[in-house]
Structure 1
Amino acid sequence: MNGAFLILAAFLASSVEMVEALTIVLAVGLTRGWRSALIGTGAALVVLALIVALFGPLLARIPLGTLRLIVGGLLLIFGIQWWRKAVLRSSGFKALHDEDATFAEESEAARRQGQDLRAGLDWYAFTLAFKSVLLEGLEVAFIVVTFGASAGRLDLAILGAAAALIVVLAAGVLLHRPLSQVPENTLKFAVGLLLSTFGTFWAAEGAGAIWPGGDAAIPVILVVYALVSWVLVAALRREKQGQLGRKEVQV
């Protein structure tokens, strides 16, 4: 059960970050040319591989209990942030993230920049692609390495991230446009719940708690958090409708 949830969490979390990076790379490639955008993407992937190779093994030297406490706390911080934003978006208090708008903004920004083709390379396209892939990739690497190290199954975390990479790249090649059909808020909602679930489970274990049923407690925590989310979204939607109703009366 733990392994299945581990793969799912790594897959969903990686998918969200990869979609955001791919949107920017597509915008740069279509407006400035693919050569520099792909070179920037490749350079970022090389840097990411070096970072994982250098710092990944260091986690193995940390005692498992301490590692789970630290990682669990960090996952709770990230998870609750994603969870909170997803709840606000679902209830109407925060605008939904629009990949089409991001694509249009990045495309327009790329067009406004003058071409710099020294040494045959468009440095603006290279830098933008490099930065976006590196930043989003660091988040993916953090999730994969910490998930895998805490669960003792780095291979499963890598499997989830690799599956996400294949799916997102295939979608990008087929659609050749921003992945607006991907329900990003739904993905972020699920990722926020999963990160919070694993964070709660591992932080408590790292602090010395023993969960009834062991790994079987993970889906129970997830269901509890999902029910809390449903209650929060319903309550906030009523509040939002009430606010709109009061505005109409005032008008």
Structure 2
Amino acid sequence: MTTFVLFFTVLLACAVEAVEALTIVLAAGTSRNWKSAWQGTVAALLVLAATIALLGPAVGQIPLGALRLVVGALLLVFGLQWLRKAIMRGSGYKALHDETQAYADEVAAATAAASGGRGRVKDWYAFTLSFKGVFLEGLEVAFIVVTFGTNQHNVPVAVLGALVAVTVVVIAGVAVRAPLARVPENTMKFAVGIMLTSFGLFWAAEGAGANWPGSDAALLAIVPAVALLALGYTSTLRRTQNAGDAGVGSAPVPTEGSLT
């Protein structure tokens, strides 16, 4: 994998997580209390840093073959989940993810929650909401950085990709103080799903002892193959959905649950 591909993949995946975390923080701050929301954010970052400092070095002690097998399997799980949702949205079986609506839902929940603080935290709900969102999404960012960086022996580039993604998203969010509705998150998730699935397949096979023709160059064939397969499924399901809406054909239109 080239340095640019590693950087771009990590940047794209981390940007998605950053958008989701920032949406939660903005909802907590706008509807409840900005100071408490930022306190929760800072607390989450400190706990996240401590967690990474404690567990991060242990990753380097795992044999590379076993690491690639485990990481590949996990990436396949995450990637296929993202890709499945993207295909469902692209084909019309699932509503497109609406960051504006997600923001509105968070605001509504925050507004309806009981008020009250603890110690120096004026609004405990805003604090915990921000803490949970930043910590959980931050763990996913850390996982992406550690797995991609370790497997490619280039952790600095993976870290740089994550930092650029988070910085750009935070600056954009703070500048507008509103949900990042213009970010094409559905397209980003489709692309990330393709990349995670491709790398998961590549690393899991390597960890199991397989040798890819051309080594890392095999990704130049795997990524387009996964993308074409996903686009093919999307196109087929979209035609089925349109035919069902028009009342054409006797076959029942599959539901989201039937496609799992």
TM-score where L is the length of structure 1: 0.95
**Uncovered stretches (5+) of structure 2, i.e. residues with no partner:** 251-260
Q: What fraction of aligned residue pairs are identical, expressed as a percent?
A: 54
Q: Deviations over 1:162-202 (max 9, x none)?
A: 11111101110222100011111101001000001111111
Q: Deviations over 1:60-111 (max 9, x none)?
A: 1111111111101110110011001101100101111111111111112222
Alignment-derived partner of residue 3 in structure 1:
3
Give the distance between the partners of 2:109 and 2:23, measured in 1 at CA.
14
Structure 1 or 2: more helix by fraction: 1
Q: What is the aligned length?
A: 248
**Uncovered stretches (5+) of structure 1, i.e. residues with no partner:** none
Alignment-derived partner of residue 151 in structure 1:
152
Give the distance between the partners of 2:116 and 2:126, measured in 1 at CA.
9
Give the distance between the partners of 1:232 and 1:50, measured in 2 at CA.
42
Alignment-derived partner of residue 253 in structure 2:
none
Q: What SS is found at the alignment partner of 2:247?
A: helix
Alpha-carbon distance, 1:126 to partner: 0.4
Alignment-derived partner of residue 126 in structure 1:
127
Give the distance between the partners of 1:118 and 1:145, measured in 2 at CA.
35
The residue identity in structure 1 corresponding to 2:219 is I
Out of 3-12 and 161-170, give the one that drifted further: 3-12
What's the RMSD between the two structures over aligned residues?
Answer: 1.5
Give the distance between the partners of 2:192 and 2:178, measured in 1 at CA.
24
Alignment-derived partner of residue 19 in structure 1:
19
Give the distance between the partners of 1:151 and 1:195, measured in 2 at CA.
14
Alignment-derived partner of residue 44 in structure 2:
44
Give the distance between the partners of 1:31 and 1:237, measured in 2 at CA.
38
1:5-154 equivalent positions in 2, closer than 5 A: 5-121=5-121, 122-154=123-155
Alignment-derived partner of residue 195 in structure 2:
194
Alpha-carbon distance, 1:114 to partner: 3.3
Give the distance between the partners of 2:30 and 2:220, measured in 1 at CA.
43
Alpha-carbon distance, 1:21 to partner: 0.9
Q: What SS is found at the alignment partner of 2:238?
A: helix
Alpha-carbon distance, 1:219 to partner: 2.1
